[in-house]
């Protein structure tokens, strides 16, 4: 079956393609000619995922799923959370976001954080959600070259390497998106 993943983020597509069964033909937004910015105006991660999936179904008529992820930092009452992409401004600059977060946590003892991914799946107009959480902490400086976003400053629980230092296979195994994606896959098998 054809299934649209409502993203053009090549890193995410690569992560998901490595996990999804080959009988599902995964299409990106550019594969279906969707070039516009899909509205993400909900105050919650779950709300944004649902909004994106609904948009593709209503405007393009494809079964699809959308994900929305946030990094929730305990000492910052869950921030940046739903604002993770734009934490340091609308440029969505990963380095600026990390710099701001490290500054906010400067001198704070509690560096606990978690990534949360919500996937909203829209099949013939029926919406289902799956949630994946990865607990960990924020390092004091950036480490590693891999991954994207906040990966260089996120140390997953029970690990000594940041997400940016771990191989993709390990990140998929323990990571928020991998956990949510595996629930999505179980839905189809």
Residues in contact with ligand IMP by the rule CB under 6 A: 67-69, 71, 84-85, 94, 147-151, 163, 177
The C-alpha atoms of residue 96 and residue 105 are separated, in whole angstroms, by 14
Give whichever of 91 and 140 is closer to ligand IMP, judged by the CB atom.
91
The least CB distance from residue 67 to ligand IMP, in Å, is: 6
Of 12, 14, 3, 65, the closest CA to residue 38 belongs to 65
**Closest to ligand IMP by CB, 3 or 138:** 138
Peptide bond into 80 cis (omega under 30): yes
Least distance to ligand IMP from the beta carbon of 94, Å? 6
* CB neighbour list of residue 33: distance below 8 Å, 6 or more residues apart: none
Name which of 28 and 107 has its Cβ closer to ligand IMP: 28
Catalytic residue of the set 68, 93, 106, 151: 68
Helix, strand or coil for residue 40?
coil
Alpha carbons within 13 A on the beta-carbon side of 9: 17
Q: How far is the CB of 176 from ligand IMP (least distance, A)?
A: 7
Quick check: is 37 catalytic?
no
- What positions carry a catalytic annotation? 68
């Amino acid at each position: 079956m054809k299934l649209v993943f409502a993203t053009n983020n090549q890193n995410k597509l690569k992560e998901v393609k490595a996990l999804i069964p080959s009988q599902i033909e995964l299409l990106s937004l550019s594969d279906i000619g969707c070039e516009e910015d899909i509205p993400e105006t909900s105050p919650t991660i779950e709300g944004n995922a649902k909004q994106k999936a609904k948009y593709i179904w209503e405007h393009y008529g494809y079964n699809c799923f959308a994900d929305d992820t946030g990094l929730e930092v305990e000492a910052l009452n869950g921030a940046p959370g739903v604002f993770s992409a734009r934490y340091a401004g609308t440029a969505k600059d990963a380095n600026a976001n990390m710099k701001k977060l490290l500054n906010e946590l400067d001198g704070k003892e509690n560096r606990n954080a978690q990534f949360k991914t919500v996937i909203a799946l829209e099949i013939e107009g029926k919406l289902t959600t799956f949630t994946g959480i990865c607990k960990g902490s924020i390092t004091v400086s950036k480490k590693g070259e891999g991954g994207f976003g906040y990966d260089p400053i996120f140390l997953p629980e029970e690990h000594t390497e940041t997400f940016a230092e771990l191989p993709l296979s390990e990140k998929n195994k323990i990571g928020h998106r991998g956990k949510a994606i595996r629930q999505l896959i179980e839905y189809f098998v």
